[in-house]
Amino acid sequence: MAGSALGIERPGDRDAAPLRVAVVGTGGWGAQHARALAARLDCELVAVVGRDPGRAAVRAADYGARAYTSIDGMLEAEHPDLVTVSLPNEQHFEPTMQLLRAGVPLLVEKPLVFDLDEADALLEAAGDTFFAINFNHRYAEPVLRARAAVQAGELGELVFATWRFGGEANRGPSPHANLIETQCHGFDLLEHLCGPIASISAQMTRMTYGAYSTVALALEFASGAVGTMLGSYDSSYAYPDTQRVELNGTAGRAVIRDTVRELSLQSVGDETERVWRAGYFDDEARSFERTMDRHLDAVLTALRTGAPPPVRASAGRRALELAHAAIRAHETGARVPTLPAGGA
């Protein structure tokens, strides 16, 4: 494949009637939601909702949208076709429930929530409502290509996988913020690439500031493969290989570096490596932020055609279930079974 696999420049079908979309949340990542939606030909960003009227007004003005401080007020005035939600990690439940009760299609940020009962309550309240979660790492170019290589059998049978993701701490009330809000991407991506995780063992440390800021997990996959996850809030996003995934199979190996930076593929016994890196002009594939745009493109296609979301909110519940299994494994010192309900 040459260039970007999706090749999005100015995305969206210009002949489609624009969908009315709204963003809840005016923080740093909410800015990416607003940018990605406003960039599209097939959407009109009609509203931005924030708690702080000044911040909401500034963000809305950037995109010619209207500012609100109340979700209900926005829904009543704007009747959006889709709402995206990007709120502080540990404050997702109430606003998401409010939006689900209004029956509006949703794309929410990870983590779904921190508590499994709350996750179940959201999924139940959603019923058949379109309810997507932003596991955007799935749409990074190296990940798309690695998955294609796995599916084409280029790596043979996967025997082990490793995940490493670590940077500066995002301190929050939960002692398991790192595991739940950040390493959820790892649980999701490893299952996306390697299939269901069957059991977890765990080591965790809180030696730096009292929370379990670094975790080391040992995984068993339903396929028989094994894996490791190293997730840290005691590292730095300045380090190369902040994020690294290795998939080692009987016939070859794939290594993903920093989500969007590089994919290397190599066959057993072959000293030559095939490396993908974004080309000189390919800023789209090089950009971490644009993984959001790619996922959004798939979300909007699904919404327009009446298909289910490309990444359902239940994937957020699954990542949370795995995080809680890891916590239990650490607390009990035992290996905890994690096969999804209904088996592998």
Ligand X SMILES: NC(=O)c1ccc[n+]([C@@H]2O[C@H](COP(=O)([O-])OP(=O)(O)OC[C@H]3O[C@@H](n4cnc5c(N)ncnc54)[C@H](O)[C@@H]3O)[C@@H](O)[C@H]2O)c1
Binding site for ligand X (CB under 6 A): 24-30, 49-52, 55, 86-89, 91, 95, 109-110, 134, 136, 181
335 vs 329: CA distance, rounded Å = 6
Give the pair of three-digit tokens for residue 315: 């994937």
Residue nearest to ligand X (CB): 27
Nearer to ligand X, 86 or 183 (CB): 86
Nearest distance, CB of residue 50 and ligand X, angstroms? 5
Nearest distance, CB of residue 85 and ligand X, angstroms? 8
Nearest distance, CB of residue 198 and ligand X, angstroms? 26
Q: How many CB atoms lie within 10 A of CB 272?
A: 7
Nearer to ligand X, 184 or 247 (CB): 184
Please choose, from the candidates 12, 17, 83, 75, the residue with its C-alpha nearest in 3D space to the C-alpha of residue 45.
Answer: 83
Nearest distance, CB of residue 220 and ligand X, angstroms? 27
327 vs 307: CA distance, rounded Å = 35
Q: How many CB atoms lie within 10 A of CB 124?
A: 9
Nearer to ligand X, 110 or 253 (CB): 110
Which DSSP string corresponds to 105-153? -EEEPSPS-S-HHHHHHHHHHHTTS-EEE--GGGGSHHHHHHHHHHHTT
Helix (H, G, I), strand (E, B) or coil at 304: helix
Nearer to ligand X, 29 or 239 (CB): 29
Nearer to ligand X, 86 or 242 (CB): 86
Q: Give the burial class of 210: count Cβ atoms within 10 A of its Cβ; 0-12 exposed, 13-18 middle, 19 or more buried.
A: exposed
Nearest distance, CB of residue 343 and ligand X, angstroms? 29
